Amino acid sequence: MAGDDVRYEVKLADGEVEIADSLWGARHVLARRVAFAPDPTRPASVLPATISKLGRQFFGGRVFVETIATAAELSALPPE
């Protein structure tokens, strides 16, 4: 990451991590993972998931953005 670039880290319930370029992208990663989970009505390997901003300008390199606990929360407006 160069300068003040901000990326978003998505940490899934199973410990897997994906990086996205925007908050919308991070939420899209979650929506895609929920949709293609073995049981999309109970995506235990995906949710709850946390989204954090990554960047050198943040103390510790990251700042918490939100936790998504249910698939219904993915259609809610993001906190930004």
3-state secondary structure the chain: CCCCCCEEEEECCCCCEEEECCHHHHHHHHHHHHHCCCCCCCCCCCCCEEEEEECCCCHHHEEEEEEECCHHHHHCCCCC
Q: What is the mean pLDDT of residues 7-14?
A: 96
Is 51 contained in some domain?
yes
Among residues 8, 71, 66, the alpha carbon closest in space to that of 35 is found at 71
pLDDT of residue 1: 44
| Domain span at 34 | 7-73
Is 68 contained in some domain?
yes
Is 80 contained in some domain?
no
Count of domains for the chain:
1
pLDDT in tens, 33-58: 999 999 888 899 999 999 999 988 88
Is 1 contained in some domain?
no
Average pLDDT, the chain: 89
